[in-house]
Amino acid sequence: MTWRRLVVIMVAVALVAVGGGGAAGYFGGGNAAKAKYVASCGGAGCIPTLQGKKVVDALTGKGFACKEEHNWECKFVAGENEYTVFVQIRDGLISEVQGWSRSADEQEVSPARKAFLLWFAALPFNNDQTTVSEIENWLVPLLTGGKNAEVVIGGYIYELTAERSRNLQLRIRGDSS
């Protein structure tokens, strides 16, 4: 990979990550106390701080190409890296959101891919730096460990699939227990 291509990728993902911080506020991110409540929607537990349509609109505004089939799928490609977000909407709220970061040639997780996953993980808690720090402290060491993991933070179940650094998946859903 040439330096020029690497710089283009880093700039594109940085724009998504930096813009995403503001976008989380646009999504309706709130504090951890609010996030501990799981709204009921269509027989499922939903994330009350994330309105489905606003998430899709914000992703589109950040350069993701989104399409709706059964659920929403939004993709962004930067060089050999692909970023995908699946959004499952029920009664206007999100019952589940999944983020993928794929790379064709990386053996380690690049700073750009790490920034995307950290931004994605923090979406429900944009205004709560304590909870965002808790998420980062859980997530960052796992990105290089090659392990799958699950944790409940602020009323949400976070599931990381990270067996291979080329294909990372983070799933977030309301904890209905």
The count of other CB atoms within 10 Å of the CB of residue 41 is: 19
Residue from 91, 31, 28, 21 nearest 55 by CA: 28
- Amino acid 176: pLDDT: 66
pLDDT < 50: residue spans in the chain: 1-32, 34-35
Report the run of H or E that residue 89 belongs to, with start and end.
strand 81-90
- Amino acid 140: pLDDT: 92
- Amino acid 130: pLDDT: 93
- Amino acid 34: pLDDT: 42
The count of other CB atoms within 10 Å of the CB of residue 16 is: 22
Is the pTM higher than 0.85? The answer reads: no
Mean pLDDT of all residues in the chain?
77
Residue from 43, 47, 65 nearest 56 by CA: 65
- Amino acid 19: pLDDT: 42
